[in-house]
Amino acid sequence: MGVRNLVAQIPACFAEQMGTEPTDAAGTAVVDAALRPMRDTLEADGYGLEWSLEAAHQIGIRVFAASDACEDCLVPPEIMRAIIAKALSETPYTVGSITLPPKS
Protein backbone atom coordinates (compact mmCIF):
# COMPACT_ATOMS: atom_id res chain seq x y z
CA MET A 1 0.00 0.00 0.00
CA GLY A 2 1.41 3.39 -0.98
CA VAL A 3 1.75 6.30 1.42
CA ARG A 4 -1.11 8.15 -0.27
CA ASN A 5 -3.46 5.19 0.26
CA LEU A 6 -2.35 4.84 3.88
CA VAL A 7 -2.97 8.53 4.59
CA ALA A 8 -6.39 8.29 2.95
CA GLN A 9 -7.27 5.45 5.34
CA ILE A 10 -6.32 7.24 8.58
CA PRO A 11 -9.50 9.32 9.05
CA ALA A 12 -11.74 6.31 8.43
CA CYS A 13 -9.77 4.15 10.85
CA PHE A 14 -9.79 6.89 13.48
CA ALA A 15 -13.56 7.34 13.16
CA GLU A 16 -14.09 3.58 13.45
CA GLN A 17 -11.99 3.42 16.62
CA MET A 18 -13.80 6.39 18.13
CA GLY A 19 -17.20 4.95 17.25
CA THR A 20 -18.73 8.28 18.13
CA GLU A 21 -20.39 9.70 15.07
CA PRO A 22 -23.81 10.81 16.35
CA THR A 23 -25.42 9.32 13.28
CA ASP A 24 -24.60 5.85 14.60
CA ALA A 25 -25.89 4.21 17.78
CA ALA A 26 -22.57 4.55 19.65
CA GLY A 27 -22.32 8.27 18.90
CA THR A 28 -25.92 8.87 19.88
CA ALA A 29 -25.38 6.99 23.14
CA VAL A 30 -22.27 9.09 23.94
CA VAL A 31 -24.14 12.37 23.45
CA ASP A 32 -27.28 11.16 25.24
CA ALA A 33 -25.21 9.98 28.23
CA ALA A 34 -23.32 13.27 28.42
CA LEU A 35 -26.52 15.31 28.29
CA ARG A 36 -28.62 13.05 30.57
CA PRO A 37 -27.95 14.99 33.82
CA MET A 38 -28.85 18.28 32.14
CA ARG A 39 -31.95 16.75 30.55
CA ASP A 40 -33.06 15.39 33.95
CA THR A 41 -32.56 18.78 35.63
CA LEU A 42 -34.49 20.59 32.91
CA GLU A 43 -37.32 18.04 33.04
CA ALA A 44 -37.66 18.60 36.80
CA ASP A 45 -38.30 22.29 36.02
CA GLY A 46 -40.78 21.61 33.21
CA TYR A 47 -38.43 21.77 30.20
CA GLY A 48 -37.28 19.34 27.56
CA LEU A 49 -33.95 19.10 25.76
CA GLU A 50 -33.34 17.89 22.22
CA TRP A 51 -30.06 17.80 20.36
CA SER A 52 -29.04 17.40 16.74
CA LEU A 53 -25.83 17.18 14.77
CA GLU A 54 -25.11 20.53 13.11
CA ALA A 55 -21.63 19.87 11.73
CA ALA A 56 -18.91 17.33 12.29
CA HIS A 57 -18.62 17.03 16.07
CA GLN A 58 -20.87 20.02 16.74
CA ILE A 59 -24.16 19.55 18.56
CA GLY A 60 -27.13 21.92 18.39
CA ILE A 61 -29.28 22.16 21.51
CA ARG A 62 -32.97 23.05 21.68
CA VAL A 63 -34.67 23.57 25.03
CA PHE A 64 -38.46 23.75 25.00
CA ALA A 65 -40.98 24.55 27.72
CA ALA A 66 -43.92 22.45 28.85
CA SER A 67 -47.05 24.24 30.04
CA ASP A 68 -45.91 23.95 33.68
CA ALA A 69 -42.33 25.19 33.11
CA CYS A 70 -40.68 27.30 35.80
CA GLU A 71 -39.61 30.37 33.83
CA ASP A 72 -37.39 31.63 36.64
CA CYS A 73 -35.53 28.30 36.70
CA LEU A 74 -34.07 28.59 33.20
CA VAL A 75 -30.55 30.04 33.06
CA PRO A 76 -29.47 32.65 30.48
CA PRO A 77 -28.05 31.41 27.16
CA GLU A 78 -24.39 32.04 28.05
CA ILE A 79 -24.70 29.98 31.24
CA MET A 80 -26.58 27.24 29.39
CA ARG A 81 -23.74 27.15 26.82
CA ALA A 82 -21.14 26.76 29.58
CA ILE A 83 -23.12 23.97 31.26
CA ILE A 84 -23.61 22.06 27.98
CA ALA A 85 -19.95 22.57 27.00
CA LYS A 86 -18.86 21.08 30.32
CA ALA A 87 -21.25 18.15 29.87
CA LEU A 88 -19.79 17.47 26.41
CA SER A 89 -16.16 17.99 27.48
CA GLU A 90 -15.50 14.26 27.87
CA THR A 91 -16.82 13.58 24.36
CA PRO A 92 -15.45 14.59 20.94
CA TYR A 93 -18.35 17.04 20.53
CA THR A 94 -18.72 20.77 21.04
CA VAL A 95 -21.73 23.03 21.45
CA GLY A 96 -23.15 24.63 18.33
CA SER A 97 -26.36 26.59 18.43
CA ILE A 98 -28.53 26.80 21.52
CA THR A 99 -32.22 27.63 21.20
CA LEU A 100 -34.08 28.48 24.39
CA PRO A 101 -37.80 29.19 24.75
CA PRO A 102 -38.73 32.87 24.65
CA LYS A 103 -39.36 34.64 27.93
CA SER A 104 -43.01 35.53 28.44
Flag whether 15 is in a domain.
Answer: no
For the chain, the domain total comes to 1
Domain range for 67 is 20-99
Q: What's the pTM value of the predicted model, to 2 decimals?
A: 0.73
Report whether 104 contacts 46 (CB < 8 A).
Answer: no
CATH number of the domain that 90 lies in?
3.30.300.130
Flag whether 1 is in a domain.
Answer: no
Q: φ and ψ at 18, to 5 degrees?
A: -65, -40
Report whether 59 contacts 88 (CB < 8 A).
Answer: yes
Flag whether 12 is in a domain.
Answer: no
pLDDT score recorded for residue 64: 96
15 confidence band (pLDDT: 50, 70, 90): very low
Q: What is the pLDDT of residues 16-34, one digit of tens each?
A: 334 445 657 778 899 999 9
pLDDT score recorded for residue 17: 37
Flag whether 8 is in a domain.
Answer: no
Three-class SS state of 47: strand
Q: How far is CA 8 from the centre of its chain?
A: 28
pLDDT exceeds cutoff 50 at 100? yes
Q: What is the pLDDT of residues 67-95, one digit of tens each?
A: 999 989 999 999 999 999 999 999 999 99
56 confidence band (pLDDT: 50, 70, 90): confident
Residues 6+ apart with CB under 8 A from 58: 93, 94, 95, 96
Flag whether 13 is in a domain.
Answer: no
DSSP summary character for residue 31: H
